[in-house]
């Protein structure tokens, strides 16, 4: 327990030594280098590093360690983080491909949950999802819409949505700015309303839009209004909040989403990944404070910080980790 809550982190990234985009078929970072050349890519990397440093200083986060100790050690370190903070479980939305992430989950099956993460438009995509869930034990499907090379509503992905319905798994799809400073801010799939027709066609599939809509609050709220099968997650620093109109705060976002979609569709995530930071406890602390300040009941907090994730992953919160 953390305070009086069973906490599940719905959205973290396993800090693997493998490429995050393993299994996606397309690697936008590699494509970028091929398009602009190594010299320009290096300039862009240095520019991005300046943003990242400013962001880390603002949050007082340590820089990511440069040496990678190997994925088994990383897995054990993550399990220790879960013990340290009394979390129920952490879900990793990426982790070096489906087989690799499944092997990490298998080391700590009571504490770790994994999402399948592979290219949705290929002919084998639905079969791969079925294998990832049924054989490998993964419990959701994750996509980064601005990293795809086709519109999210492309009919080629419909067999995958059909499979999500059949397997009854949640689908987490990132929209809006992607990556850290210097990342992507424009793409044909940047706007979460792009999901409208897919979400309408599959009302039996739960779609989760991360980071409170990642600067597309108006659009995400409209999407949630149009499609009751759309939820949001609260993960990350949500630094985008500085760039939207008004002096918006995370607390106001909680209030706005509570008014529109209620506690059953708001899901806590941290977007943690690297060490030595480990689990980004500060996001959990800040969000618990904000929701308590708003006067949410214990039952509402429990839904947001663990109950909704447990429902989507079919975990019994009564079972101790």
Taking the complex as a whole, the smallest distance from the CB of residue 172 to Zn ion amounts, in Å, to: 9
Whose Cβ is closer to Zn ion: residue 128's or residue 271's? 271
- 155-184: which residues touch Zn ion (CB under 5 A)? none
CA-to-CA distance for 52 and 55, rounded, in angstroms?
5
Say which residue the tokens 């947001």 belong to: 304
Whose Cβ is closer to Zn ion: residue 22's or residue 271's? 271
Report CA-CA distances (Å) from 107 to 74, 80, 169, 200. 11, 12, 22, 38
Taking the complex as a whole, the smallest distance from the CB of residue 271 to Zn ion amounts, in Å, to: 4
3-state secondary structure the chain: CECCECCEEEEEECCCCCCCCCCCCCCHHHHHHHHHCHHHHHHHHHHHHHHHHHHHHHHCCCCCCCCCCCHHHHHHHHHHHHHHHCCCEEEEEECCCHHHHHHHHHHCCCCEEEEECCCCCCCCHHHHHHHHHHHCCCCEEEEEHHHCCCCCCCHHHHHHHHHHHHHCCCEEEECCCECCCCCECCCCCCCHHHHHHHHHHCCCCCEEECHHHCCCHHHHHHHHHHCCCEEEECCCCCHHHHHCCCCCCHHHHHHHHHHHHCHHHEECCCCCCCCCCCCCHHHHHHHHHHHHHCCCCHHHHHHHHHHHHHHHHCCCCCCCC
Whose Cβ is closer to Zn ion: residue 190's or residue 296's? 190
Whose Cβ is closer to Zn ion: residue 118's or residue 302's? 118
Whose Cβ is closer to Zn ion: residue 126's or residue 214's? 214
- 184-203: which residues touch Zn ion (CB under 5 A)? none
Taking the complex as a whole, the smallest distance from the CB of residue 269 to Zn ion amounts, in Å, to: 8
Whose Cβ is closer to Zn ion: residue 71's or residue 271's? 271
Whose Cβ is closer to Zn ion: residue 141's or residue 159's? 141
Taking the complex as a whole, the smallest distance from the CB of residue 141 to Zn ion amounts, in Å, to: 14
Whose Cβ is closer to Zn ion: residue 81's or residue 271's? 271
Taking the complex as a whole, the smallest distance from the CB of residue 93 to Zn ion amounts, in Å, to: 6
Say whether residue 9 binds Zn ion (CB under 5 A).
no
Position closest to Zn ion via CB: 271
Peptide linkage before 217 cis (omega within 30 of 0): no
Taking the complex as a whole, the smallest distance from the CB of residue 91 to Zn ion amounts, in Å, to: 11
Taking the complex as a whole, the smallest distance from the CB of residue 37 to Zn ion amounts, in Å, to: 29
Taking the complex as a whole, the smallest distance from the CB of residue 293 to Zn ion amounts, in Å, to: 26
Q: Give how many residues touch Zn ion by CB under 5 A.
A: 1
String marking each residue 249-288 x if it binds Zn ion according to CB under 5 A? ----------------------x-----------------
- The site for Zn ion (CB under 5 A) is made up of 271
């Amino acid at each position: 327990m953390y305070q009086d809550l069973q906490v599940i982190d719905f959205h973290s990234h396993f800090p693997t030594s493998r490429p995050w985009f393993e299994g996606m078929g397309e690697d936008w970072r590699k494509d970028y280098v091929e398009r602009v050349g190594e010299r320009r890519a290096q300039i862009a990397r240095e520019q991005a590093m300046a943003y990242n440093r400013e962001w880390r200083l603002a949050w007082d986060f340590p820089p990511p360690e440069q040496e990678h100790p190997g994925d088994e050690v990383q897995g054990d370190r993550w399990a220790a983080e879960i013990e340290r903070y009394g979390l129920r479980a952490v879900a990793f939305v990426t982790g070096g491909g489906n087989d690799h992430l499944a092997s990490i989950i298998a080391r700590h099956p009571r504490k770790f949950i994994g999402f399948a993460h592979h290219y949705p438009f290929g002919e084998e995509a639905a079969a791969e999802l079925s294998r990832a869930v049924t054989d490998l034990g993964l419990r959701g499907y994750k996509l980064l819409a601005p990293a795809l090379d086709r519109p999210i509503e492309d009919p080629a992905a419909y067999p995958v949505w059909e499979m999500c319905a059949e397997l009854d798994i949640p689908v987490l799809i990132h929209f809006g700015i992607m990556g850290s400073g210097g990342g992507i801010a424009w793409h044909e799939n940047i706007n979460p309303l792009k999901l409208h027709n897919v979400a309408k066609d599959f009302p039996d599939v739960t779609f989760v839009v991360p980071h409170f809509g990642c600067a597309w609050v108006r659009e995400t709220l409209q999407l949630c209004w149009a499609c009751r099968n759309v939820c949001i997650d609260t993960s990350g620093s949500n630094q985008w909040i500085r760039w939207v109109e008004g002096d918006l705060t995370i607390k106001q976002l909680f209030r706005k989403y509570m008014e529109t979609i209620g506690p059953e569709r708001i899901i806590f995530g941290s977007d943690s990944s690297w060490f030595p930071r480990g689990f980004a406890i500060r996001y959990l602390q800040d969000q618990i404070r904000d929701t308590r300040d708003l006067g949410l009941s214990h039952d509402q907090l429990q839904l947001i910080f663990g109950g909704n994730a447990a429902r989507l992953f079919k975990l019994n919160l009564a079972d101790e980790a």
